[in-house]
Each structure stands twice: as structure tokens, then as C-alpha cells.
Amino acid sequence: MTRAVAGLGFTQIVGWGTTFLMPSVLGRHIQDDLHMPSELVFAGITVLFAVGAVLAPRIGRRIDRTGPRLLMTAGSIVYGLSLLTTALSQGPVVYLLSWAGMGVASTLALSVPSSIAMAQIAGSRARQGISMLTIIGGFASTAFWPLSGALDALVGWRGTLLIYAAVHLFACAPIHFFMLPKAAPMLPHGTASASTAGGLPPELRARAYRLLSVSLCFGAFVFTGMIVYMIEVLRALGHSPASAVFLGSMIGPAQVGIRAFELLFGHRYSIMTSAVFGSALLPFCLALAMAAGGNFGAALVCMLAYGMSNGLKAVQRATLPLALFGRGQFGAYMGRLALPQGIVSATAPIVLATVLDRFGALGVLGINLVLGTISLVAMVMLARMSRAIR
């Protein structure tokens, strides 16, 4: 398992760092060079999430049947070709089409397939393996924001993307091909069917799926939207630019810290306890931010709580479906859950941009508080019907 965690961890850092996190550093130069507004530059992220959401259910079912090797290898190749296309683009049409290609690649090779692959490789230790992957993935911005800035200064944004394309083609693709199993594992002897292997009884699964989907979707809206505008919201609440950047930088360590705690001590408590705690932290931090305004100490608590909640949700997006529905149809459920989450994540930055423009920071915090509370209620209801799940 350790070898798989190291290999998949590397490809996840590269996958997030060269796509979702890339415009934060290179976006300004792309905007100037292609003569596009910043909204269009960052619309690539929306395209990535939307395309990935549409394809996720089919890819999840396919990995259940065939295993992850060929699909994840193909994803790395599509990543490389898409980044090559982005580097050669001269206008918005090709630029956005290249992001659509990255959406296809992310469905084949990023977080959902990697979690399914880890569940198939690690078996009963899947929760620990997935937690280790999320810890490693949490360093994507730490690694790629400064790397993108340094490469941009040396070879420009086009040269940077060409280098990233080569990394996908000549490092990530071989890792996926040579380190992942050839086929999906066989279910244990005596299992009645793939659909009943582990997790909740079949009669409870439809309701559990709906509650989990509601909780994860509303949480995804808050996390995806808020991270884009977090610095601007903090400044609007009265924090200085330097303080806002410092406070925002605390999210990453909180994410990694809580994931490490989950990895080391998660076996001592129920996964549903962890899920409810993580969900409760979200409305807590948003309500505190609204009440505290520009108070630095309160804002620091908010950022730490927000980071912990986000860190736990990242683990639970993969481990909860595994615990609730078992390994037999884990990929199918992951794909189904990824569809609404991807659509919500694609729309969140656009919606919150409008709210921020019309109602300011308090409006953004208010709508996210409502959605975070709905996410918590759905998770509490799910926990009550899943008390036997560890």
C-alpha cells in the first residue's frame, strides 16, 4: 500500500497543481497574452468541473469493472495533451476547449479514480490509505504555487505549461501504468453479490445516498466558492491585506493537521462521529466570522475551523461511500456522488461573485452559513440511521 500511496500522491499533487491551482499564479499573464477578461480565464475551472461531473458516474462504474490502470494512464495522457493545447492557444475558444480536455482527464485520473484505486489496493485499510492520499494532496498549493511562479519567471506561462504537460506524459502516465493493478479485485468468497458486499443493508442505501449527496453537495458549494474569494472577504470584513493573506494561509496547515489526526487516531472513533464533527465546524466558523467582523483572534479561529472542516470533508468524500455502501459498488457510488458535487462546484464561484458584488462579504457569509447548516442537518440525519457504521 505504501508504494501505491506514494505514486498516487505524486500524481494527485501534479493533477491539482497543474490545473485547478494553475490560474491563481499564471492567470494574469494568460489574460494579458490572450487579451481575455479574468472572468474568462478562470471560467476554465468551471468548464473542468462541469465536464468532469457529467462523465464521473460512467467512469466510476467502469473502474469497478476493469480496475484503474488503463483509465488513469489514459487520464495522464489526456492531461498532457490538454496542457499542450493550452500552451499553444491563441484565443478563448481553444483555451476553453483545452480546459474541457482537462475535465475529461480529471475524471479519469484525479481524486475520485485515485480513491477508488486506493480502496481496491488497500482493502480493509482503505480508510487509512485514502487519508494518507488526502494528506499528500493537501501540499499541492504549497508545491505548485511557488513552482509555477518560478517557472513563469524563467520560461513564461506557455513554457511552464509545456513542462507540466511533459510531467504528465513522462512521469504520471508511467506511474499509473506500472504501479496500479491490472484488474479490479475479486470480491471475497461467499459474498452474495457486488451490490451487497459490505455497508448498509440494501433497503437503506437509497435514503443514505440522498442524505450523503445533500450534505456533500452543499459542503462542496461552500468550500469551492469560499476558497476563491476568502482573501477578498477577509479584507472586506476589515482585515489588512497582509493579515488577510496570513489568515488565509492558515487553512492549509489546518487541513493537513486534521487529516493527519484522522490517519493516526481515526480507528478509535466512528467515521460518522468524524463526519458530524467536520460538518458542524463549517456553520460554526461562518457564524463566528459574521459576528466577529474584523477581530483578528476570532478570524484565526474561523480559518482553523474552516480548514479542519474542509480537511475532514476531503477524507469523507471517499471514505463515507466506502463505509456506507461497501467495496462492491464503491466506484459506481463515487461517480454518482461526483456528478451533483461537480455541478455545484462549477457554479459556486459564479454565484458567490454575484452575491459579493451586490451584498458584500456579509452576504457571502450569510448564504454559505445557510448552506453549511443544511449540510450539517443532512449529515446528522445520516449518522442517526447509520449508527452501526464504524
Q: Kindly tell me the sign of the dihedral angle through the C-alpha atoms of 322, 323, 328, 334.
A: negative
Q: d(Cα 324, Cα 116) in Å, to the nearest integer?
A: 14
**What is the DSSP secondary structure assignment for residue 185, as one 8-state letter?**
P
Dump pLDDT digits (tens) for 176-189. 999 998 777 665 54
Residue type, 140: A
Whether residues 226 and 276 fall in one domain: yes
pLDDT at 189: 47
Question: Is residue 190 domain-resident?
Answer: no
Residue 359 domain boundaries = 200-385
Angle CA 288–375–289, to nearest 5: 10
Whether residues 166 and 210 fall in one domain: no
pLDDT at 168: 98
Locate 200 and state its grid cell.
Answer: 448498509
pLDDT at 196: 45
Q: d(Cα 363, Cα 186) in Å, to the nearest integer?
A: 51
Question: Is residue 353 domain-resident?
Answer: yes
> Are 274 and 221 in contact, with CB atoms under 8 Å apart?
no
Question: What predicted TM-score, i.e. pTM, was given to this entire model?
Answer: 0.81
Whether residues 164 and 216 fall in one domain: no
Question: Is residue 194 domain-resident?
Answer: no
pLDDT at 188: 53
Question: Is residue 239 domain-resident?
Answer: yes
Question: Is residue 71 domain-resident?
Answer: yes
Whether residues 381 and 251 fall in one domain: yes
Whether residues 240 and 164 fall in one domain: no
Which of 79, 88, 73, 97 lies closest to 14, judged by CA? 79
Q: Which helix (H) or strand (E) holds 282?
A: helix 271-292
pLDDT at 190: 45
CATH number of the domain that residue 89 is part of: 1.20.1250.20
Whether residues 129 and 170 fall in one domain: yes
**CA separation (Å) from 182 to 35, 64, 66, 76, 365?**
46, 12, 8, 17, 47
Task: Count how many domains the chain has.
Answer: 2
Whether residues 19 and 115 fall in one domain: yes
Q: d(Cα 360, Cα 256) in Å, to the nearest integer?
A: 30
Locate 148 and state its grid cell.
Answer: 509555477
- CA torsion, ordered 44, 50, 53, 55, to nearest 10 deg: -90
Locate 67 and state its grid cell.
Answer: 480496475
> Are 175 and 55 in contact, with CB atoms under 8 Å apart?
no
Whether residues 30 and 124 fall in one domain: yes
Question: Is residue 15 domain-resident?
Answer: yes
**What is the DSSP secondary structure assignment for residue 373, as one 8-state letter?**
H
Whether residues 209 and 127 fall in one domain: no
**CA separation (Å) from 222 to 203, 280, 348?**
31, 13, 7
Question: Is residue 390 domain-resident?
Answer: no
pLDDT at 279: 95
Whether residues 217 and 313 fall in one domain: yes
Domain-ending residue, one of 179, 211, 245? 179
Q: d(Cα 226, Cα 248) in Å, to the nearest integer?
A: 11
pLDDT at 277: 95
pLDDT at 131: 79
327 backbone dihedrals φ, ψ, rounded to 5°: -80, -25
Which of 332, 320, 333 lies closest to 127, judged by CA? 320
3-class secondary structure, 387: coil
CA Rg value for the chain: 20
Q: Which helix (H) or strand (E) holds 131?
A: helix 126-137
pLDDT at 191: 45
Question: Is residue 193 domain-resident?
Answer: no
Q: d(Cα 133, Cα 256) in Å, to the nearest integer?
A: 11
Whether residues 281 and 149 fall in one domain: no
Whether residues 301 and 380 fall in one domain: yes
Please report, in tens digits, the pLDDT of each residue of the chain (390 residues total): 788 899 999 999 999 999 988 988 898 899 999 999 887 888 898 899 889 889 988 998 888 888 899 999 999 999 999 999 999 999 999 999 999 999 999 999 988 899 888 888 887 787 788 878 888 887 887 788 889 999 999 999 999 999 999 999 999 999 999 999 877 766 554 444 444 455 788 888 899 999 999 999 999 999 888 877 888 889 899 998 888 878 888 887 888 888 888 888 877 888 889 999 999 999 999 999 999 888 999 999 999 999 999 988 888 887 888 888 887 778 888 888 988 988 888 888 888 888 988 999 999 999 999 999 999 999 999 999 887 666
